[in-house]
Structure 1
């Protein structure tokens, strides 16, 4: 079973190497790694080129944002299963992809998702949010539940049927993508109760203006899918609180 992993990058010279190394160090042998750089103005492309022997496809050209970059990667992907690793993030362990593939094989799922850790941007061993996705149901989605996006792996045939990311969303395209697949796609879904990824905190999580933009896009997205937008968004925001509490308990050794 071939796995395609896509990384979209723009001006991430400090972190893109960690993302790439986490993919290239996987024990699972059949990985097609695709890196799409948006014509970075820093040294990102130079860092990416250091790993060219392990990257199946690498492109550097201007785009209109992260989701266009991801869509470019999806069009190039030839794997049976497709997943993402963002340029600020890295896979949790060297066995992560092997465990994901085993879950697909054991369950016959169309889509597998798991758990993730948000970590301090400078100290990646310091956990800031502990995202335990939990079990899947369509009813939970109307109450704001979604799995952590970079933990989601999908069969390519489902992407060909259900479509790529809606680039009219600049921030919430990932949420729209997940709602389309998990709420409307009638897929067989499996939960892998393991950590899949470590994600550096920063950017959107610390930028009030971008957070307002994301909420506005979330409202538009939920409305387009027939959800009660304000109720669903409110419950989604509240659902984050236990993740911060859980991270603090992890630090204290309580869990």
Structure 2
């Protein structure tokens, strides 16, 4: 049963564009979490049935914006600016949480006030058959030298205190699909925020996209 809170401790941002085929799974996975979440959906003026899917789940979505944007990272920055909660996570429209206790486990990491971010593992699943695993991404503990070899945490599993975004900025929209790598590099390596590894599959990611087919770079 969802724990009702006066103000959710975690905000989840979902950027969408023509995501009607998969968005329902994403929205339902947030709604099924054992803790309340402020779910913000930032849509890039979709032309398919994305808005109808959102409307069908409107009671569990805190805010919806649908307007032309400059791509997925612009949409994510809009969501970060609107977020009110202590912790911010990003869940792509093609992705969904692996279980109903993901956000509860994430928030437990932030009970330690010295923790600025946490991340976990990710499972790639077939786009049309999400019960079928395609690949497993085990993150492992953060060590600075790993970045120089191309390591990064899976971005959909990366949860950050909102104050970190306020201090060090959002996504660099001029970097294209490298923007998620750059922001983690900036936070973890340049500014040395403290991140902890949660050794659990947090997100199932459908194969195929900008990460995904339903987001624009």
Tell me the equivalent position of 2:10. 3
Contact 1:34 1:56 in 2 (8 A): yes
Deviation at 1:105, TM superposition (A): 1.1
Contact 2:26 2:93 in 1 (8 A): yes
Distance in 2 separating the partners of 1:88 and 1:139: 31
Who wins on radius of gyration, i.e. which is larger?
Answer: 1
Measured against aligned partners, the alpha-carbon deviations of 1:108-156 in whole angstroms (never above 9, x if no partner) come to 3101000000001011111111000001011111111111010000001
Tell me the equivalent position of 1:94. 100
Distance in 2 separating the partners of 1:205 and 1:173: 11
Asked if residue 75 in structure 1 is aligned to residue 81 in structure 2, the reply is: yes
Asked if residue 22 in structure 1 is aligned to residue 15 in structure 2, the reply is: no
Measured against aligned partners, the alpha-carbon deviations of 1:18-69 in whole angstroms (never above 9, x if no partner) come to 100000110113x111001110010101111111111111111111111111
- What TM-score do the two structures reach when normalised by structure 2? 0.91
Tell me the equivalent position of 1:195. 201
Contact 1:119 1:198 in 2 (8 A): yes
Distance in 1 separating the partners of 2:167 and 2:104: 25
Distance in 1 separating the partners of 2:197 and 2:52: 37
Distance in 2 separating the partners of 1:88 and 1:67: 16
Contact 1:107 1:190 in 2 (8 A): no
Distance in 1 separating the partners of 2:195 and 2:159: 10
Asked if residue 134 in structure 1 is aligned to residue 144 in structure 2, the reply is: no
Deviation at 1:203, TM superposition (A): 2.7
The structure-2 alpha-carbon separation of the partners of 1:190 and 1:165, relative to structure 1 and needing over 3 Å to count, comes to same
Contact 1:36 1:58 in 2 (8 A): yes
Distance in 1 separating the partners of 2:99 and 2:63: 23
Distance in 2 separating the partners of 1:107 and 1:64: 35
Instruction: Could you list the structure 1 runs, at least 4 aligned residues long, displaced by more than 2 angstroms after superposition.
Output: 203-207
How many pairs are equivalent?
207
Tell me the equivalent position of 2:130. 124
- Structure number with greater CO (CA < 8 Å, separation at least 6) is 2
The structure-2 alpha-carbon separation of the partners of 1:10 and 1:183, relative to structure 1 and needing over 3 Å to count, comes to same
Deviation at 1:204, TM superposition (A): 4.6
Answer with 31-40 or 102-111: which moved more.
102-111
Contact 1:114 1:195 in 2 (8 A): yes
Give the helix-richer structure, 1 or 2: 1
What is the RMSD of the two structures over their aligned residues, measured on CA atoms?
1.7
The residue matched to 1:41 in structure 2 has which SS? Answer: coil
